[in-house]
Structure 1
Amino acid sequence: MEFRTLGKTDIELSAVIMGTWQAGKAMWADVEDAQTTRAMQAAFDAGITTFDTATVYGDGHSEQILGKALKEVRPQVVIATKVFAHALAYDKVFAACHKSLRDLDTDYIDLYQIHWPAGSFGSKKIPIEETMKALTELKKQGKIRAIGVSNFSAQQIEEAARYGQVESLQPPYSLFWRQVETDTMPWCAENDITVMAYSPMAQGFLTGKFGPDHTFRKGDHRAKNRLFEPENYERVQDALARLRPIAERNDITLGQLALAWVISHTGTCAIAGARNADQALQNAKAGSVKLSDDEMAEIDAIGRTVTEHIDDNPVQWKW
Structure 2
Amino acid sequence: MEKRSLGTSQIQITPIIMGTWQAGKRMWVGIEDSDTIKAMRAAFDAGITTFDTAEVYGEGHSEQILATALADVRDQVVYASKVFANHLKYDQVMEACDRSLKNLKTDYIDLYQIHWPSGSFNNPIVPIQETMSALNELKQQGKIRAIGVSNFSRSQLEEAAKYGRIDSLQPPYSLFWRGVEKDAMPYCVENNISIIAYSSLAQGLLTGKFKSGHKFEKGDNRADNKLFKGENYERAQQALSKLRPIAESHQCSLAQLALAWLIAQPQANAIAGARNAEQVAQNAQAAVVKLSSDELKEIDAIGRIVTEHLDDGAVMWEWNF
Q: Deviations over 1:190-229 (max 9, x none)?
A: 0010000001100000000100021111110001000111
SS in 2 for 1:294: helix
Q: Is the 1:55–1:82 Cα contact (8 Å) retained in structure 2?
A: yes
Instruction: Report deviation, 1:10.
Output: 1.0
User: What is the alpha-carbon distance in structure 1 between the residues aligned to residue 2 and residue 309 of structure 2?
Assistant: 33
Q: Is the 1:4–1:267 Cα contact (8 Å) retained in structure 2?
A: no
AA of the residue aligned to 1:135: L
Show the counterpart of 2:151.
151
How high is the TM-score relative to the length of structure 2? Answer: 0.99
Q: Deviations over 1:152-211 (max 9, x none)?
A: 011111110111111000000001000110131011000010000001100000000100
Show the counterpart of 2:54.
54
Show the counterpart of 2:314.
314
AA of the residue aligned to 1:152: F
User: What is the alpha-carbon distance in structure 2 between the residues aligned to residue 270 and residue 128 of structure 1?
Assistant: 26
SS in 1 for 2:86: helix
User: What is the alpha-carbon distance in structure 1 between the residues aligned to residue 70 and residue 36 of structure 2?
Assistant: 12
1:32 aligns with 2:32: yes
Instruction: Report deviation, 1:4.
Output: 1.6
SS in 2 for 1:234: helix
SS in 1 for 2:145: strand
AA of the residue aligned to 1:146: A
RMSD value, Cα: 0.6
Q: Is the 1:7–1:193 Cα contact (8 Å) retained in structure 2?
A: yes
1:137-286 to structure 2, matched below 5 A, reads 137-286=137-286
Q: Is the 1:168–1:195 Cα contact (8 Å) retained in structure 2?
A: yes
Instruction: Report deviation, 1:2.
Output: 2.7
Q: Deviations over 1:264-317 (max 9, x none)?
A: 013211000000000010000011110011111110000001000001111000
User: What is the alpha-carbon distance in structure 2 between the residues aligned to residue 223 and residue 132 of structure 1?
Assistant: 35
User: What is the alpha-carbon distance in structure 2 between the residues aligned to residue 133 and residue 73 of structure 1?
Assistant: 31
1:72-87 to structure 2, matched below 5 A, reads 72-87=72-87
Instruction: Report deviation, 1:3.
Output: 1.8
SS in 2 for 1:70: helix
User: What is the alpha-carbon distance in structure 2 between the residues aligned to residue 257 and residue 190 of structure 1?
Assistant: 27
SS in 1 for 2:106: coil
Q: Where in structure 2 are there 5+ consecutive unaligned residues? A: none
Q: Which moved more, 1:252-261 or 1:2-11?
A: 2-11
SS in 2 for 1:175: coil
User: What is the alpha-carbon distance in structure 2 between the residues aligned to residue 228 and residue 160 of structure 1?
Assistant: 33
Q: Deviations over 1:48-99 (max 9, x none)?
A: 0000000000000000000110001000000000000000000000010000
User: What is the alpha-carbon distance in structure 1 between the residues aligned to residue 76 and residue 287 of structure 2?
Assistant: 18
User: What is the alpha-carbon distance in structure 1 between the residues aligned to residue 178 and residue 314 of structure 2?
Assistant: 8
Q: Where in structure 1 are there 5+ consecutive unaligned residues? A: none
Percent sequence identity is 66
User: What is the alpha-carbon distance in structure 2 between the residues aligned to residue 145 and residue 10 of structure 1?
Assistant: 9
User: What is the alpha-carbon distance in structure 2 between the residues aligned to residue 33 and residue 243 of structure 1?
Assistant: 34
Q: Is the 1:129–1:163 Cα contact (8 Å) retained in structure 2?
A: yes
User: What is the alpha-carbon distance in structure 2 between the residues aligned to residue 74 and residue 266 of structure 1?
Assistant: 29
Q: Is the 1:17–1:272 Cα contact (8 Å) retained in structure 2?
A: yes
Show the counterpart of 1:13.
13
User: What is the alpha-carbon distance in structure 1 between the residues aligned to residue 177 and residue 166 of structure 2?
Assistant: 24
AA of the residue aligned to 1:56: V
Instruction: Report deviation, 1:114.
Output: 0.1
Show the counterpart of 1:69.
69
Q: Is the 1:2–1:288 Cα contact (8 Å) retained in structure 2?
A: no
Q: For this pair of structures, how many residues does the alignment match? A: 319
User: What is the alpha-carbon distance in structure 2 between the residues aligned to residue 296 and residue 8 of structure 1?
Assistant: 27
How high is the TM-score relative to the length of structure 1? Answer: 0.99
